[in-house]
Amino acid sequence: DVKVTQSSRYLVKRTGEKVFLECVQDMDHENMFWYRQDPGLGLRLIYFSYDVKMKEKGDIPEGYSVSREKKERFSLILESASTNQTSMYLCASLGSAMGGASTDTQYFGPGTRLTVL
């Protein structure tokens, strides 16, 4: 089974702090993603990475950066946290769908609920 883990389930930070959210997958997947999910807005893509040290902006990259130094680990960084970054953050890894030939299924980690005060 694909396993995607995230460093924290719940996190409380203060405005202006630098925040690191970590994601690790154990299936040797090349592609990893960071989303945030807010009521009424659905899942929105922040950044994704298709290889080590490679990254691309998603739909809402402002205020975020990412780091992918090792294949299994993809980090999301909030350089200076703000209250509008209070959200559920979801990491996903892309791999084969249920043992089939497709390699375009995303598997999600458990999520980190971040509150910025």
Binding site for another protein (CB under 8 A): 31, 33, 40-43, 45, 48, 50, 58, 90, 94, 97-98, 100, 102, 104-111
Query: Is the Cβ of residue 63 or residue 108 nearer to another protein in the bound state?
Result: 108
> In sequence order, what are the residues at sequence separation of 6 or more whose Cβ sits closer than 8 angstroms to the Cβ of residue 42?
none
Query: Is the Cβ of residue 45 or residue 77 nearer to another protein in the bound state?
Result: 45
Q: Are 60 and 45 in contact (CB under 8 A)?
A: yes
Query: Is the Cβ of residue 48 or residue 75 nearer to another protein in the bound state?
Result: 48
d(CA 48, CA 94): 10
